[in-house]
Amino acid sequence: MLDAQRLAALAVAQVLAGRNLNQVLQKELSRHPQLTPQQRALLQDLSYGTLRHYGALRAILGALLQKPLQDENIRCLLLVALYQLAYTRTPSHAVVDHAVRVTVQALRKTSAKGLVNAILRNFLRRREALLADAACASEEARYGHPQWWVDKLRLQYPDHWEDILARGNQHPPMALRVNRRLNSVEAYLDELSQAGIAGRVLGQSGILLQQPVAVDRLPGFSAGHVSVQDGGAQLAASLLDVTDGMRVLDACSAPGGKTAHLLELAELDLTALDHDSKRLRKVEQNLRRLGLKAACLVGDAADPEPWWDGKPFQRILADVPCSASGVVRRHPDIKWLRRESDIAQFAAQQAVILDALWRCLEQGGKLLYVTCSVFAEENSRQVASFLQRHADAELLPLPGRVERDLQLLPDQEHDGFYYALLAKL
């Protein structure tokens, strides 16, 4: 636990300084190849869990301190240890002992040894009262999201905002997408059952697992029989309404889940575009594993001229950059990295991308607009504004649904996504 606790504290400190959690953890894991799989899993749990409950943990630590801590590494170590004591079943004596040892041996802050020990033991004595007080200290502490986020959801979802916030603090479900070129959903369910993995059918190609498992336990994963993809994300391929022979653009394709799903459903002339060459390599890796082919191009969806050959696409998937407010339970750092002003910036970027991609769509073609956001500025308001700007655009009913656009909210089956299908008249 010693290494995991130390590295988690360093990771949390970097996130709170503005870094992306996944990138931080990848760097730390590459620097510490000696960590066992159990230590790696513990490091992830401690980092994710501390950020998931950061609002309450910050309030609890504030109540235990007589004055603010100036040392950010010690503060984050205490946050990680408090997460363990408050939200896990780790023996309390081990948590306290390890935190004190990290303070002295790893952080070399011998002068803080007594403070760390006293804070954590004080929490253990007052645990229930401190947890109750934290829930009343502020809405940030109670709901585990920044106040502006709470306020925005309360305004936009007066009947559902508390449930959305609660879902954002839970562990996400794990869903699979069966490669129907190679297998059926029913047959793969049988393979899972034989491997001791329980699940049920989800949508047309999906399986929702009863409990998350490591991908190396999934039968046929390396052979391309199945992919891990959220149930909400799996809707994109069917909603784009593709058929064999179509010329299709996946405009913001990385890491390639939706790209692959489209190719699993139909024989397409598909271009997978992404502005980041490193992320585009992940698309190529996914396609190779699944035995699929696409033209992978590095390019900016907001500026087609350098990469577009001028031949219109019949279908465009525009899974645009967004706040990712619908997937915070998978990426809890997002809650604390985002600022309210970011939403307007994302919306402005999305409008530029939509206008640029519209020029690449043939008359009679369709563009599916997608975000993993729950904020209206990026979703329904964005589409309404686009329709005002483009007289040649029409919002179509989504295939197989009565809605003309779809706002999915996080639940036990999927994350939060938005879908709108636009036709070029």
Q: Specify whether 125 is located in the same domain as 244.
A: no
160: in domain? no
Domain CATH number, residue 418: 3.40.50.150
Beta-carbon count within 10 A of 167 CB:
20
Mean pLDDT of 340-356: 98
Q: Residue 55: inside a domain, yes or no? A: yes
Q: Which domain-ending residue is among 120, 142, 164?
A: 142
What is the CATH number for 90?
1.10.940.10
pLDDT at 402: 79
360 is catalytic: no
Whether 284 and 399 map to the same domain: the answer is: yes
pLDDT above 70 (res 355): yes
Three-state SS across the chain? CHHHHHHHHHHHHHHHCCCCHHHHHHHHHHHCCCCCHHHHHHHHHHHHHHHHCHHHHHHHHHHHCCCCCCCHHHHHHHHHHHHHHHHCCCCHHHHHHHHHHHHHHHCCCHHHHHHHHHHHHHHHHHHHHHHHHHHHHCHHHHHCCCHHHHHHHHHHCCCCHHHHHHHHCCCCCCEEEECCCCCCHHHHHHHHHHCCCCEEEECCCEEEECCCCCHHHCCCCCCCCEEECCCCCCHHHHHCCCCCCCEEEECCCCCCHHHHHHHHHCCCEEEEEECCHHHHHHHHHHHHHHCCCCEEEECCCCCCCCCCCCCCEEEEEEECCCCCCCCCCCCCHHHHHCCHHHHHHHHHHHHHHHHHHHCCEEEEEEEEEEECCCCHHHCHHHHHHHHHHCCCEEEECCCCCCCCEEEECCCCCCCCEEEEEEEEC
Indicate the average pLDDT of the chain: 96
* Residue 290: Cβ within 10 Å count: 22
Give the mean pLDDT of 248-259. Answer: 97
- Lowest mean pLDDT, pick from 32-41, 287-296, 373-382: 32-41
Identify whether residues 269 and 402 lie together within a single domain: yes
Average pLDDT for residues 81-106, to the nearest whole number? 96
Co-location of 180 and 250 in the same domain: no
Identify whether residues 184 and 329 lie together within a single domain: no
Tell me the two tokens of residue 262: 């489209």
As a whole-number percent, the residues of the chain with pLDDT over 90 amount to: 94
Shared domain for 18 and 76, answered yes or no, is yes
Verify that 201 and 278 share a domain, yes or no.
Answer: no
Distance (Å, rounded) from C-alpha 259 to C-alpha 248?
10
* 152 assigned to some structural domain: no
The verdict on residue 84 lying in a domain is yes
pLDDT tops 70 at residue 2: no
Establish if 153 belongs to a structural domain: no
14 and 93 housed in the same domain: yes
> What are the C-alpha distances in Å from 259 to residues 121, 215, 272, 288?
52, 20, 7, 12
Q: What is the pLDDT of residues 214-240, one digit of tens each?
A: 999 999 999 999 999 999 999 999 999
Interval 163-214: pLDDT, tens: 999 999 999 999 999 999 999 999 999 999 999 999 999 999 999 999 999 9
Split into its structural domains, the chain has a count of 3
Look at residue 124 and tell me whether its pLDDT is greater than 90.
yes
**In this structure, are 202 and 325 located in the same domain?**
no
For residue 158, is it within any domain? Answer: no
The model's pTM is 0.94
Last residue of a domain, one of 89, 118, 142: 142
Rounded Cα distance, 153 and 150, in Å: 5
> Residue 165's pLDDT is what?
98
**For residue 128, what are the domain limits?**
2-142
Residue 164 lies in a domain: no
pLDDT per residue as tens digits for the range 360-400: 999 999 999 999 999 999 999 999 999 999 999 999 999 98
* Same domain assignment for residues 281 and 411: yes
**What is the pLDDT averaged over residues 243-259?**
97
Please, what is the end-to-end C-alpha distance for the chain in angstroms?
A: 61
Q: Is residue 151 part of a domain?
A: no
CATH of the domain at 208: 3.30.70.1170
- What pLDDT shows up at residue 252? 95
- Per-residue confidence band for 403, with pLDDT thresholds at 50, 70 and 90: confident
Task: Give yes or no for a contact between 376 and 152, defined as CB atoms under 8 angstroms apart.
Answer: no
Domain boundary among the residues 89, 123, 142 is at 142
Say what the pLDDT of residue 3 is.
86
In sequence order, the 6+-apart residues with CB closer than 8 A to the CB of 326 are 232, 371, 372, 373, 374, 408, 409, 410, 415, 416, 417, 418
Indicate if 356 and 257 belong to the same structural domain. Answer: yes
Q: Do 243 and 375 reside in the same domain of the chain?
A: yes
